[in-house]
Amino acid sequence: MDTIENLIIAIVKPLISKPDSFSIKIEDGPEFLEYHLDLDPQDIGRIIGKKGRTITAIRSIVYSVPVETKKVRIIIDEK
């Protein structure tokens, strides 16, 4: 779990304008590990990107990391 969290931080922090307001909450469900990205409202558009291309690329990278038995989800939340 730490590896995925560190990977998300390494990818997202350089893309946002307010890295101090960025945080990640992890929810461990029966099927999924959900990583909730809490972002400033101004940064949500930067992370989603045009036609969702940026978040799709981030998800592709994160989903390629092998995890034992659960699937990983990235969810964007507004602070």
Q: Where are the domains of the chain?
A: 2-78
Could you tell me if 43 and 75 are in contact, meaning their C-beta atoms sit under 8 angstroms apart?
A: no
DSSP 42: H
Please give the pLDDT value at position 1.
Answer: 57
The CATH architecture one would assign to domain 2-78 is 2-Layer Sandwich (3.30)
Beta strand ranges found along 1-79 (DSSP E): 23-28, 32-39, 71-78
Per-residue pLDDT of the chain (79 residues; tens, 9 = 90+): 588 999 999 999 999 999 999 999 999 989 999 999 999 999 999 999 999 999 999 999 999 988 777 889 999 998 7
**24 and 9 in contact (C-beta within 8 Å)?**
yes
pLDDT given for residue 79 in this prediction: 73
State whether residue 66 is helix, strand or coil. Answer: coil
Instruction: Tell me the CA distances in angstroms from 69 to 18, 30, 60, one per residue in order.
Output: 34, 10, 18
